[in-house]
Structure 1
Amino acid sequence: MACNSGTCQSGCYRDDTSIGAAESPPVAKKNEPLNDVVNSRRTTEHLDNSICIKCKVNTTIAASTADVSVVDGGGSDAGRFCVDCFRSNLFGKFRLAVTANAMISPSDNVLVAFSGGTCSRVALQFIHEMQTKAQKNFDASRDRALPVFGVGVAFIDEKTCSAVSSGYLDRAIEEMKLIVSDLAPPVKQFHVVPTETIYSPEAGAKDRLNELINAVSDITGKEDLLEHFRMLSLQKIAIEHGYTKVLLGTCTSRIACHVLEATVKGRGYSLAADIQYVDARWKIPVVLPLRDCPIHELNMLCNLDSLMTVEVFNGTRAGINGLISSFVKLLQEENPSRESTIMRTAGKLTPFHFNRMPEDNDYNGQVASRRRQKKYNLKTKDALLIESFCPICNSPLKVSNFETSSNFDNGKTSPNGIGAACCASCQFQVLPKDPSSLENFISLLPPSMVSQAEDGVRLSQRQLREQIEDCLLSDNEDGT
């Protein structure tokens, strides 16, 4: 029997105002009480979003502070973590990098490269916290079997090749000394070393350095050369004062820029060497424990903990480096994960054999080193290939570029020989094109660079002899 407006009990006609609507009593719609449920659920979700996802108790940084400078930076951790959990998470990245890659052993003496900026300030703070905890464990232990690693701080004074005034730099150095001295014991020695010390105690070192820098016409090449001199200065400090590791505050953001810079400059082969946790191609191994920490997180930590920073030489970069920095900054503003994506993509490159700690560390370091060797498929010591390095930037070279036959004489290299031994990027951006200017440029190089080029030539000759050894006649063979 078909229903009608008078006998229908299902209510199908009650919403129809054209048929019997006046005869039907008003019925509450089923979706009306759901409005309160929906509003309550939205309120609960809003409250949940303001609660730290780790501790589930405290409010997030974004919800607990009204200071825009603290949470602004393109990252999402301000909306996910509370202050304590954020700090713990960031320090956890640092500590994991140190322990998983055997960066520091109890017997080490670590030199922290300190520029006064955000990255080096956080690196100094974190390594200080690790040292303080190790000191407490040492004091509490009965046998005191494990010593506490030492920490020193180094600042490279680049006023000789920069436009920074002496008065401003002196005030900045005093502020850096105050930062280091305010750290709790163990006491950390603070080294201030000018760049010209790469020439050793030599008369006219400043003039020689300035002349060498001015001989480079390319802006990008000049910046890259200064960066390499900075590393040479740190190595010199570490060797003279007995440091066993050099710790850099290189973060994810800086590595992302370096990846694109190296790609544009034609340094794709050597790129994998520069972005690993460990770089042992230097006499004193270099470690990057902040490799997984983006700059906006480091800035946020400095703001939250009121960590004092000093900006000295961190001006606007020029040339290719400046363009890449601006480009990556725009990418980061569009998507906060762009820097991490660039770094992780480049991290898939196969590391070199020197991207691990030497095997003469303690047993804990050896175990961690073997685990990492298996994880990243690093070559064993027996399977290592001897690498040649650019005498200017120390980048590994895929094929030796040394012209051994015509540019090597009695253990010395000619200017053309050193030029040919450099990587393609340094040949294009650093070395002068004019032969007379090139000869003058080579004569101004620090002795360490010249000796490295000569060692590379000897290495190239030895490799060449090993390749053609089967074709050579022995002394007792007459060839007949």
Structure 2
Amino acid sequence: MQHKSQKNFDASRDRSLPVFGVGVAYIDESIISPIPSNDFDSGIDEMKLIVSSLAPPSKQFFVIPTESIYSPDCAAGRDQLTKLASAVSDVTGKEDLVEHLRMLSLQKIATENGYTKIVLGTCTSRIACHVLEATVKGQGFSLSADIQYVDARWEIPVVLPLRDCLSEELNTLCNLDRFDSLKTIDVLQQPRSGINGLIASFVKLLQQENPSRESTIVRTAGKLTPFCFNRIPEVGDDNGHLASQRRQKKYNLKPNESLPPESFCIICNSPLKKTGSATFNGIDNGETRAAAACSSCQYQILPKDPSSLEYFYSLLPQSMSARARDGSISHELLRDQIKDYLLSDSDDGT
């Protein structure tokens, strides 16, 4: 079926155009979380073997170091990334930052190689952990954005086809696969720590007591209303438009044109809750950018000393720092627009 779907003759009316291509990417984070070189090399070789054995057409396999998001010169990027990781003292915050950088790396690979979607292997078990992690970290407002089938807030939309699959089911499938095309590479998995590690242990214990707990957690969180970007952007196809309308009705989604533009965290790109125009009254540039981060990033990633904020922002990759500059500019523009309606500290409101 996969081979037939990728044959231009069968799958496309215009047989001169390719239907779609598939690539597999692994983000090398060893500069932050070191892995023994022998384990790393054996894991990469095994992944290459798996990808090469997949059904035709051939898939590209990318091994990209995290520091490449800074510049093609990995040496310079490595130094910058090391300083950034050292600037985050909180263990959980450092893990979360690495996860955000991983997404930026995937976005970079997809953009440079012409891919139009990023497919993640995030399953029900991982989403259940994320639901509890986000709850503990105070990310309840943005939680629904992370657990949908589609996340188009990024330049390249992200899809989660394994959202309804438990990790135990996937492990069983891998063990039963007689062609060895499905495997788990355990040697490259780093143990989680801090809040994330505690939640992972807690969910594992719940699953041992009752195998349906993970699904229950995800189904409960699934009752949250998705954001407007939790859908594939429409491209003018009538059938796609009808399908989009059905999804809007089923999941209580509002059309894009009826919703105001979202504000996003400059670090993790989570949607921010609008707290009112008074937030922008009487704060300087550094504080404005700090206010443009979600509460979790402010508490766990950003430095506590306001004088260190500019140095921290200088260590961010260009895509993150640009988001910080854009957020600062948009806040300044908003303040200019509403300054005539703001009350000064001396006004009593009468």
Match of 1:199 in 2: 70
AA of the residue aligned to 1:459? S
* 8 A Cα contact 1:199 1:205, kept in partner: yes
Of 294, 297, 302 in structure 2, the residue corresponding to residue 426 of structure 1 is: 297
Question: Relative to 1, partners in 2 of residues 1:135 and 1:242: Cα closer, same or farther, differing over 3 Å?
Answer: closer
Match of 1:392 in 2: 267
Of 209, 217, 235 in structure 1, the residue corresponding to residue 107 of structure 2 is: 235
AA of the residue aligned to 2:291? A
Please say if 1:360 is aligned against 2:232: no
Question: Relative to 1, partners in 2 of residues 1:455 and 1:310: Cα closer, same or farther, differing over 3 Å?
Answer: same
Deviations 1:38-97 (A, max 9, x none): xxxxxxxxxxxxxxxxxxxxxxxxxxxxxxxxxxxxxxxxxxxxxxxxxxxxxxxxxxxx
Match of 1:375 in 2: 250
Q: Using the alignment, how far apart are the partners of 1:204 and 1:355 within structure 2? A: 36
Correspondence list, 1:143-292, <5 A: 144=15, 148-202=19-73, 204-292=76-164
Question: Relative to 1, partners in 2 of residues 1:375 and 1:463: Cα closer, same or farther, differing over 3 Å?
Answer: farther
Q: Secondary structure at the match of 1:191?
A: strand
Aligned length: 336
Match of 1:444 in 2: 315
Question: Relative to 1, partners in 2 of residues 1:361 and 1:338: Cα closer, same or farther, differing over 3 Å?
Answer: farther
Question: Relative to 1, partners in 2 of residues 1:189 and 1:140: Cα closer, same or farther, differing over 3 Å?
Answer: closer
Q: Using the alignment, how far apart are the partners of 1:470 and 1:177 within structure 2? A: 61
AA of the residue aligned to 1:299? N
Question: Relative to 1, partners in 2 of residues 1:433 and 1:312: Cα closer, same or farther, differing over 3 Å?
Answer: same
Match of 1:336 in 2: 211
Deviations 1:330-369 (A, max 9, x none): 1111111110000000000000000011111644433322
Deviations 1:256-287 (A, max 9, x none): 11000000000000000000000000000000
Question: Relative to 1, partners in 2 of residues 1:278 and 1:375: Cα closer, same or farther, differing over 3 Å?
Answer: same
Of 178, 185, 189 in structure 2, the residue corresponding to residue 310 of structure 1 is: 185
Please say if 1:325 is aligned against 2:197: no
Question: Relative to 1, partners in 2 of residues 1:142 and 1:323: Cα closer, same or farther, differing over 3 Å?
Answer: closer
AA of the residue aligned to 1:284? I
AA of the residue aligned to 2:147? I
- TM-score scaled to structure 2, two decimals? 0.88
Q: Using the alignment, how far apart are the partners of 1:404 and 1:453 within structure 2? A: 18
Deviations 1:179-236 (A, max 9, x none): 1111121111111110001112245210110111111111100100000000000001
Q: Secondary structure at the match of 2:92?
A: helix
Q: Secondary structure at the match of 2:51?
A: helix
Q: Secondary structure at the match of 1:192?
A: strand
Moved more, 181-190 or 344-353: 181-190
Q: Using the alignment, how far apart are the partners of 2:235 and 2:289 within structure 1? A: 33
Question: Relative to 1, partners in 2 of residues 1:463 and 1:189: Cα closer, same or farther, differing over 3 Å?
Answer: same
* 8 A Cα contact 2:280 2:335, kept in partner: no
Q: Using the alignment, how far apart are the partners of 2:237 and 2:118 within structure 1? A: 18
**Which has the greater radius of gyration?**
1
Question: Relative to 1, partners in 2 of residues 1:397 and 1:167: Cα closer, same or farther, differing over 3 Å?
Answer: same
